[in-house]
Copies of this chain bind each other. A is one copy, B any other.
Amino acid sequence: MNQRLHSFSQWLQEQHISFALITSTPNVFYLSGFYSDPHERLLALLVFPNEEPVIVCPQMEVEQAKHSGWAYSLIGYSDTDHPWELIANYLKKLALPIEKVAVEKSHLSLERYEQLHAYFTARSVLNAEEKLRQLRMIKDEKEIAILRQAAALADFGVEVGVQTIAEGKTELDIIATIEHELKKKGVREMSFATMVLTGEKTAAPHGVPDLTAIQQGDFVLFDLGVVLDGYCSDITRTVCFGKPTEEQKRIYETVLAAQQAAIAAAKPGAIVGAIDKAARQMIEEAGYGSYFTHRVGHGLGIEIHEYPSMNATNPMPLAQGMVFTIEPGIYVPSVGGVRIEDDVLITDTGVEVLTNYPKELIIL
């Protein structure tokens, strides 16, 4: 059994859980290596404390599951089968006492829960999500290698975007060029809707790109990432088209100093909240505290937002193998906004910055 399944199985043993029914695409992928989104159809990975795991999926995906390296049992079902019945029969053969069952409570729908309940009258239904978040938080060597490559593609995306900037180009023009060049490198999916914002629109942390054209004196903000082999990257850079004002320069230098301070604070044993505070303090001291309206970052991996949540009140100590973003920003309404974001990895002694596009203020 792979290390991830082994760790999860051990947790089931410790908690005296009869079995776990894992149905979300990211967690099934994490534990099994099989990436599948069968939409309304059931995908399930059953993990036991002392038995081999089994995947339940539509019949037409069975070959793909084997191809992904799954070496254990597979239950394929057709559109006329009842997958819950097949699961019940499988469990009956194992003759396990079913008392505590673990599921993903924020993912399992009430409809699925009622189906489960019709077949298994478990004494209690626990949530497996916290444990899975903790396991996924520490990346292994294979994951880190993919995340490094995904970050390099994000760097390339920003590079293309910066080169594309010209008077009159629209936000959507630039996004199209970035995504085109990434597709040429084989990127099939962005990790979220690519953001290019110009001028005053940069002051909205969740602004929506449209046909607004770039003008002299605009900040241009890029926030983008790719999905590579199931893992996400995420980078933000802000550049200036034409000569920046003194205020624009001050905002930029403050965000950059804050971002560098947060990176400098990141190492094994440092408290998550302290990373947020390292950035926030510099921004507050520069008088922009009320314009830094979000947490300093988020964990990154199979999903674009995972553990750890990099917020001021998180008391968790950082540990080797964690990957997260550091992305302070200052957003001044009707002036503009700056955000600078890197993906970082906690190493045995400190931090490795995975995204490498330059951060000194670029004036075009």
Interface size on A, residues (CB 8 A): 34
> Is A186 on the interface with B (CB-CB < 8 A)?
yes
What CA separation (Å) do A236 and B291 show in the bound complex? 47
Nearest residue, chain B, Cβ from A180: B176
> Is A95 on the interface with B (CB-CB < 8 A)?
no
Q: Please tell me which one of the listed residues B106, B170, B179 contacts residue A111 in the complex, with CB atoms under 8 A apart.
A: B106
What CA separation (Å) do A170 and B172 show in the bound complex? 23
* Shortest distance from the beta carbon of A311 to any chain B beta carbon, whole Å: 10
Give the interface SS of chain A, mostly helix, strand, loop or mixed: mixed
Nearest residue, chain B, Cβ from A171: B183
CB neighbours of A106 from chain B (8 A): 40, 109-112
What CA separation (Å) do A111 and B130 show in the bound complex? 13
> Is A247 on the interface with B (CB-CB < 8 A)?
no
Within the oligomer, what is the number of copies of this chain? 2
Q: Which residues of A contact B (CB under 8 A)?
A: 39-40, 103, 105-114, 125, 127, 170, 172-173, 175-177, 179-180, 183-184, 186, 188-189, 193, 208-211, 305
What CA separation (Å) do A358 and B208 show in the bound complex? 34
Q: Please tell me which one of the listed residues B109, B110, B173 contacts residue A184 in the complex, with CB atoms under 8 A apart.
A: B173
Which interface residue of A110, A170, A179, A186 has the most chain B CB atoms within 10 A?
A110
What CA separation (Å) do A267 and B65 show in the bound complex? 42
Q: Please tell me which one of the listed residues B113, B125, B184 contacts residue A176 in the complex, with CB atoms under 8 A apart.
A: B184
Q: Please tell me which one of the listed residues B40, B110, B184 contacts residue A105 in the complex, with CB atoms under 8 A apart.
A: B110
5 interchain residue pairs of minimum CB distance: A176-B180, A172-B183, A105-B111, A176-B183, A106-B111
CB neighbours of A184 from chain B (8 A): 170, 172-173, 176, 211
CB neighbours of A107 from chain B (8 A): 109
22 example contacts (A-B, Cβ-Cβ < 8 A) are as follows A40-B106, A103-B110, A106-B109, A106-B110, A107-B109, A108-B109, A108-B110, A110-B113, A110-B125, A111-B127, A113-B113, A170-B184, A172-B183, A172-B186, A172-B188, A173-B180, A176-B179, A176-B180, A179-B179, A184-B211, A186-B210, A188-B193
Q: Determine if B111 and A110 form an interchain contact, defined as CB atoms under 8 angstroms apart.
A: no
* Shortest distance from the beta carbon of A355 to any chain B beta carbon, whole Å: 23
* Shortest distance from the beta carbon of A21 to any chain B beta carbon, whole Å: 11
Q: Determine if A183 and B188 form an interchain contact, defined as CB atoms under 8 angstroms apart.
A: no
* Shortest distance from the beta carbon of A222 to any chain B beta carbon, whole Å: 15
CB neighbours of A305 from chain B (8 A): 39
Nearest residue, chain B, Cβ from A172: B183
